[in-house]
Structure 1
């Protein structure tokens, strides 16, 4: 069985240095820490959790508080979870996934029990009731999602306002003058899903700046309803030459909807979505899209959280990091077709 001595020899350091690198009890240079972590991965070393907790007051477990809502597309949430759990494992932490409906009670119970070293919160609402208990907890936390008030908590999100502006700007450059934005269901906004209106507000501001007509509708997150919604949108706004999709279910359903209507993209209509690159590959989506950066956001949240745990940098300023949107052009953007 591999022990800490084996790890130390493989990393070229003393046994105590290897132990400190894994426990975070002393400051270790990034290069040495990386050597130790590489040795851990290569040797398959697994420290005894009980002994480690007694010796370090650490569990090396992070709590991931996620929520799965009926009116959102569940496969999209899985991309965030994978980014968090994979990066946590790379950094020597296990992940406790908590999906209880009462997030406040769950967070308070777990924090009080000291069963985890820190928290990562998903599905963060504009006025999220979990934030005050998180601020009061002894363990640090990180958010994937921007709330109205992120004071005292490290926060990571896509810059949705900039994403909406970029979508409209790109189609404006191609000569489009009427666009339709399909957002998540309206219930998502009502419960605090600020990313929906942030993208919509950005798109509206850029459309107004360029004199573009922007139609905004809310679509279902489930089949077959989203297919019906898309057909209704295409019927209602026949002059719109571009579709903006801030709804993963709509993106997944659109290829079959267009095919059934004898339409193609970009010959008949240009399309820009907002979803992860992994999501696009899973559903073989041919549309240009802004990567929602699910994997990157999850990894950045874990890295910041682990950094706080290892450096005890409780007094360091908390960060709000918004990922700049970039359009991955898959060939679904072109000049609008001639008016019929």
Structure 2
């Protein structure tokens, strides 16, 4: 294993000079720094996290907190997590992935240990109880999600309210007047998941503005629960011709159930989904969808947390940043003009 002393000998400097170059504690000449960097590259030296933490008071690790609830769409969460990992490496940082739903205790443990220089939280709730821990520890943090009170934080998220509004506008423009919103299971709304509530609120506000009759029904996503949800919708509003689906698991069952009930998509019923393009393309007919960039979420979150780390290292107060990614409507074969009654 290559040691710091090996790097020093290769560069023709003392071990303390190499340490200063890595930690940034003292200024050294540009020529000396370049020699050290060349030696590190030539020898393949990788200082361990503990040594970096002792020398420079930085671990060069970011903790990414991703509680994997059973009702979340894991492929999307993992795509964002991979984007965070790639972006962090571009800054010379590694990522510590925490997937257990440990809540405030897990965040407290990581923040107080000094193991990570910063934290990125995912699956953010509107009243997220992990946020006070970040404030108390003065931990450089970025949120992939938007709480009710983002003060003292940097946040990046899809504009879910705008996504819900796009769905309502698209169906209204096609002449649909009775629309049902099939959402996530009730547990998601009980824990006030921001992505779920903001989408419904955006849809509801725009639907009211457009004079639409609408229902919002939670759905667990299984075939049986989707069948029950659809039966209740049609019992309450038999003239429903437009369906907005945010629960990815319910999309396939809904399409099958509509066909079984004698409703052809899109001639008799239009379906629009809030889901990734890849998922929308897998169904028959291909789904009209509202989606947003996922890779960019991870990239922006890393930039935000790095800016907060740098500000605190310089003795400055970090600037709060809020970035909302605009949604994109992609029209495919699952939506069409409302049928004449």
Q: Answer whether TM exceeds 0.5 for this pair.
A: yes
Name the CA distance, whole Å, in 2 between partners of 1:144 and 1:125: 10
Higher relative contact order (CA 8 A, sep 6+): 1
- How far the C-alpha of 1:146 sits from its partner, in A, is 0.9
Q: Which residue does 1:164 correspond to in 2?
A: 164
Against the structure 1 CA distance between its residues 154 and 23, is the aligned structure 2 distance closer, same or farther, given a 3 Å change threshold? farther
Structure 1 residues 46 and 175: alpha-carbon distance in aligned structure 2, compared to 1, 3 A threshold: farther
TM-score (norm 1): 0.79
Instruction: Compute the displacement of 1:332 (Å).
Output: 2.2
Residue matched to 2:332: 330
> Which residue does 2:52 correspond to in 1?
52
Question: Matched residues in 1 for 2:284 and 2:121: separation?
Answer: 29
SS in 1 for 2:204: helix
Change (3 A) 1:224 1:74: farther
Give the match for residue 272 of structure 2.
272
**Equivalent pair of 1:76/1:248 in contact (CA under 8 Å):** no
**Matched pairs, number:** 312
Shift in Å, 1:129:
1.0
CA distance in 2, matches of 1:45, 1:285: 53
What is residue 137 of structure 1 aligned with on the other side? Answer: 137
Native 8 Å contact 2:223 2:250 kept in 1: no
Q: CA deviation at 1:201?
A: 2.1
The worse-fitting range, judged by mean Cα deviation, of 239-248 and 306-315 is: 306-315
Question: Residue in 2 aligned with 1:70?
Answer: 70
Partner of 1:148: 148
- From the superposition, tell whether residues 228 and 63 of structure 1 become closer, same or farther in structure 2 (CA, over 3 Å): same
Aligned partner of residue 195 in structure 1, secondary structure: helix
For structure 1, list consecutive stretches of 5 or more residues without a partner in the other structure.
5-18, 27-38
Deviations 1:152-197 (A, max 9, x none): 1101112222222111111111111111111111221111223323
Q: By how many angstroms is 1:329 displaced?
A: 1.8
Quote how far apart the aligned CAs of 1:80 are.
2.9
Q: Deviations over 1:189-242 (max 9, x none)?
A: 111223323222222222222221112111114x23344245425643431111
8 Å CA contact 2:270–2:334 kept in 1: the answer is: yes
- Using the alignment, how far apart are the partners of 2:199 and 2:20 within structure 1? 44
What does the per-residue CA deviation read over 1:254-312, in whole Å, with 9 as the maximum and x for residues that have no partner?
A: 34334444544322221211122344457788211111433322221112112333454
TM-score by length of 2: 0.79
Structure having the higher Rg? 2
Cα displacement (A) at 1:53: 3.4
The reply on whether 1:214 has 2:214 as its aligned counterpart is yes
Q: Is the 8 A contact 1:3 1:45 kept in 2?
A: no
Q: Distance in 2 between matches of 1:43 and 1:289?
A: 50
Q: What is the distance in 2 between the residues matched to 1:291 and 1:46?
A: 42
* Pairing 1:164-243 to 2, within 5 Å after superposition: 164-221=164-221, 223-233=222-232, 235-236=234-235, 237-243=237-243
Structure 1's 56 and 172: CA in aligned 2 closer, same or farther, altered over 3 A?
same
Q: 1-side partners of 2:178 and 2:113: how far apart?
A: 55
1:286 — aligned with what? 286
Q: Please state whether the residue corresponding to 2:172 is helix, strand or coil.
A: helix
Contact 1:274/1:292 (8 A) holds in 2:
no
Contact 2:292 2:326 in 1 (8 A): no
Q: In 1, are the aligned partners of 2:165 and 2:203 still within 8 Å (CA)? A: yes
Listed as ranges, the matches of 1:13-32 within 5 Å are none
